[in-house]
Amino acid sequence: MNAATETPFREQPLLEVRDFQVELITDAGIIRAVDSVSFSIHRGETVTIIGESGSGKSTTAMGILRLLPEDLAVLSGTVLIDGVDISADPKAIDKVRGKTLALIPQDPMTALSPVHSIGSQLFEAIRIAGAASAKDKDALQARAVRLLEQVHIPTPEKQLKKYPHQLSGGMLQRVLIAIALASEPQLLVADEPTSALDVTVQGGILDLLLELQEQRGIGILMITHDLGVARLISDRIHVMKDGSFVESGEVQQIVDHPATEYTRTLLAAVPVLGPWDETPADARGAHAASGGSSATTTDPALTQTGAKP
């Protein structure tokens, strides 16, 4: 975060997206889910795309990672990941997946194969990263334990033998972050990494992401509908609505001086009580529509979470 201001922008960005567009082929016809968005992320920076359900924010992230079904999604525009143009050559994504690029998924409970142990899935990521060979069991084990320690999982040796259903959502998300870190990625794409978790563990996961970013200077693309999350973690925010950015800027500027009505509505939707927003999106929409009295940018809930200026 501070690194962002220290790092000169002349440096090649980790992620550069220009005129990115996603068209989804549906029964009802072709839908332009993402309409010419452009942004970039530098080393040590967190850029957040915030918007309601259906605004196209997750589709943007999945499109950049080329994880949308190939026969249903048509991508156009330019995406450069650490200088590798993955939009021109679809195979180029294989060069960055599991190497410079990693995904932290939305729902940790369904993001690991239920019939394979935590250890086997972590070992696999370590092998793909080339950090240890499959034959060197001791090196794999040592590396896996160190990764789990880095995400603050207690008794890592024991957890490696466990299966996903034996861990809580918060622990699983830590495991998934450890798996993502196996390759020492430069860029993390976090697709609503806390929205499926209990309020009490959400803060811990975000703290962990901030800590890792500080240690390693990785860039983070954060997708969220939660302004509390965005405010805590972001350097810059892009507000997304109906597939395009309606507003972009520094986090403080967006929060203090929202330029569009949509952003004001999003801000107004933050509840007064509790530091983290766990209300479903539609309930918040109704709350905002009813003229919720919490429409204030000096919401104590936001500042209490240790949000950065």
Partner 1 sequence: MTNYILKRLGQGLLTVFLTVSTVFILIRMAPGDPAVSYAGPLASNEQLAAVREQFGLDRPVLEQYWIFLQQLFTGNLGQSYSFQAPAMQVVFERMPYTLTLATSAILLTAVVAIPLGVWMSRRPDTGKEFGVNVLTIAGQSMPDFWTGIMLLTGFAVLIPLFPASGFATWGGLVLPTVTIAILQIALISRMVRREMTNNLAAPYLTVARSRGVKNSVLTWRYAMGNSAIPVFTALGTRFAAMLNGVVVVEVVFAWPGVGSLIVRALETRDYPLIQATVLVTALLAVAVQLLIDLAYPLLDPRVRLGKAATA
For residue 166, state whether it binds partner 1 (rule: CB under 8 A): yes
Residue from 18, 32, 152, 162 binding partner 1 (CB under 8 A) = 162
Determine the residue type at 188. L
**Which residues in 172-191 contact partner 1 (CB under 8 A)?**
176, 179-180, 182-183
Report the amino acid identity of residue 208.
L
Closest separation in Å from C-beta 112 to partner 1: 5
Q: Looking at 43, 57, 97, 238, which residue binds partner 1 (CB under 8 A)?
A: 97
Give yes or no for a contact between 306 and 279, defined as CB atoms under 8 angstroms apart: no
Query: Considering only residues 42, 57, 99, 236, which one is a binding residue for partner 1 as defined by CB under 8 A?
Result: 99
- Give ∠ CA 200-202-205 in degrees, rounded to 5: 125
Q: By CB under 8 A, what part of segment 4-63 binds partner 1? A: 62
C-alpha to C-alpha distance for 234 and 224, rounded to whole angstroms: 11
Positions in 102-141 near partner 1 (CB under 8 A) = 102-103, 105-107, 110-117, 121, 124-125, 128
Cα–Cα dist 30/72, whole Å: 9
| Closer CB to partner 1, 178 or 301, in the complex | 178
309 touches partner 1 by CB under 8 A: no
Q: Of 37 and 178, which has the nearer Cβ to partner 1?
A: 178
Which residues would be at the binding site for partner 1 (CB under 8 A)? Answer: 62, 65, 67, 71, 94, 97-99, 101-103, 105-107, 110-117, 121, 124-125, 128, 159, 162-163, 165-168, 171, 176, 179-180, 182-183
